Amino acid sequence: MPPFYAKDREKLFHIIKTEQVKYHKYLSKEAVDILSKFFIKDPEKRLGSGPNGLNDIKSQPFFASINWESILEKKIKPPFTPKLRSETDTRYIDPEFTSSTTMDSYHAGESLNENENPFVGFSYDASKEGEKQQDPQI
């Protein structure tokens, strides 16, 4: 189960904003530590949002056994490599998702007036992202 769950979408959002996460006893103290830092409600205080960004995440005790340079250099073999028959092979995806009927989330009659901001409360801020370098060959 995810850390928060409710069938009603508005109730789910309310729970996410107000409730505290409960951690299972089988999680290591390092796992609980990093998860609790990722789940901090204030995005300015959340792990990875400080001036050191990703390096703050990579330096957490949870990742102590990870050799980041070896990963970047692709020297570490993944623990599992799926054997795919084609680009559209979905046998590793739970049938719950592949057999679901697709549906459009748009509902007729719904619209935003010019004063409404549908993203109030979301923490992503594009202005805080560094300039992304474009590969001129793409």
Residue 109 maps to a domain: no
Domain assignment of residue 36, yes or no: yes
Burial class for 12, CB neighbours closer than 10 Å (0-12, 13-18, 19+): middle
Residue 48 falls inside a structural domain: yes
Could you list the residue range(s) of the whole structural domain that residue 29 is in? Answer: 24-77
Asked if the structure places residue 30 within a domain, the reply is yes
CA distance 99 to 14: 30
CA atoms of 15 and 9, how far apart (whole Å): 10
Q: Is residue 73 part of a domain?
A: yes
Q: What is the pTM of this model?
A: 0.56
Q: Is residue 17 part of a domain?
A: no
**What string of pLDDT tens digits covers the 138 residues of the chain?**
788 889 999 999 999 889 999 898 999 999 999 999 999 989 999 999 999 999 999 999 999 999 999 999 999 988 899 999 999 999 999 999 889 888 777 666 666 666 677 777 777 777 776 655 444 444
Residue 91 lies in a domain: no
